[in-house]
């Protein structure tokens, strides 16, 4: 289901970028693909080394920090 959602979003974005003659941002695509590949290798190793509670708290902390930065930059 997630793959279908991602595919639909990617096709929609590509369509609108080409409609406005903007082209695809290949530099961003390259960085995202590399991040997914590296993250896909690191995440299983980290998940086996830390407790579930620690990982949940770390994720919540990261989301709160990113949310705070986004709110801070909006002013």
pLDDT at position 7 is 85
Could you read off the pLDDT tens digit of each residue along the chain, which spans 75 residues?
778 898 898 888 888 888 877 777 788 888 988 998 998 999 899 889 999 999 999 999 999 999 999 999 998
CA gap 46, 54 in Å, rounded: 11
> What is the CA angle 43-67-52, rounded to 5?
35
CB 9 within 8 A of CB 17: no
- Residue 10 half-sphere exposure toward CB, CA atoms < 13 A: 9
**What is the distance between the alpha carbons of residues 34 and 60, in angstroms, rounded to a whole number?**
24
**pLDDT for residue 74:** 92
Check residue 4 and give its pLDDT.
87
Write down the pLDDT at residue 60.
97
| Residue 14 confidence (pLDDT) | 83
């Amino acid at each position: 289901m997630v793959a279908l959602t991602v595919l639909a979003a990617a096709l929609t974005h590509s369509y609108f970028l080409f409609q406005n003659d903007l082209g695809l941002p290949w530099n961003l695509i390259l960085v995202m693909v590399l991040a997914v590949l590296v993250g896909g290798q690191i995440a299983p190793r980290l998940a086996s080394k830390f407790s579930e509670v620690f990982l949940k708290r770390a994720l919540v902390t990261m989301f709160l920090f990113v949310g705070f930065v986004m709110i801070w930059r909006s002013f």
